[in-house]
Structure 1
Amino acid sequence: MDRDMDPQREATLRRRYLSLGVGELVAAAVFLVIALQVVLPGWASLERPALWGGLAPLLVILVQAGAYWLLARSWTPHATMPPALATTYRVFRGADLVLLAAGLVLVVRHWPASPGGAALALGAWAFGVVEYLNYFVVRLSYPVTRWPGTVTQWRTPRLMQDVRGSRPRG
């Protein structure tokens, strides 16, 4: 960790983490409200599990990510992620895979009759997979202007760097 970081750079980093955290939580809330208020009322009751199968893993991962960024503000850049929190995110990493698999089973088992409904359920699930990969496997999000040249570098996501760098204090 950079214990001698310039205070202005530290404040900029903390604002960025705040923005990322709030952004992920707002995205989860928007997806949930749209699903409840706009999408689900038009779906047949037998098809609704397909939407939840696609959407639930995405929402869970977005909330975990938002919480991570907000919590990271408390240790970055002067300390490491608390060990208990690192353990929690290790558990999330495995549990999210199970959730994504179960979600896909729901999407397939309750496949919507309309192509648009099927695309929506499968699209939400695929977006959840992309978010999972971005936070737990390989960093996928970069500024648009740098994306093509940077994404192929297969960098470790910040969350996983923090999890791996966590060590007991004292």
Structure 2
Amino acid sequence: MRTGPVQGRAAHLYAAAAALQVWYSPFPSEMTNEQMLPFFVDRAELLRRDGTDVVLVTGCELSLFARWYLPGDTFADRAPVLAGPDRSAYLASRDGGPGGDWMRTVLDRWMRTVLDRAAHRGEIDSAASPPDRLVALPVVLVLHELLMARRTPSNADLEEIVDLLFLLVVMLQKGQHT
């Protein structure tokens, strides 16, 4: 069922009362990268404040419908890039393609936001400033699941990657874990 802001708020409150997960699937149509991150984080934190277990679910809305991954200001401008014969050349040329510097910068910013939010919730020391390789660890492990294991990581896999591996290593790096 698709919901707007009012219906979505009511639905998430009912889900929280029933101890159910809320699968948050925002549609950042025509948003830029700079607009998306605060939008996702603020809404997820609002849901969590009410005690809701929130799962972020995304897909093509991050690439095709948002203004950051492909050229063009609108969906109509971006769609031909993926449908055209030059799509591989475009993706490979963009600062080294999807694995290039621009993507690393975006992922680094997003993962550091995860760390900031974990510090805000008291899960890690706010003074923790892990090295870049550690910040990239969750993304690398998810890519391993996708490319090497050839499977989509489950919610349990993602929780293990972030909660049991990533945040634990961040805490160990600063000597917080006993």
* TM-score exceeds 0.5: no
TM-score (norm 2): 0.28
- Bigger share in helix: 1
- Of structures 1 and 2, the one with the larger relative CO (CA 8 A, separation 6+) is 1
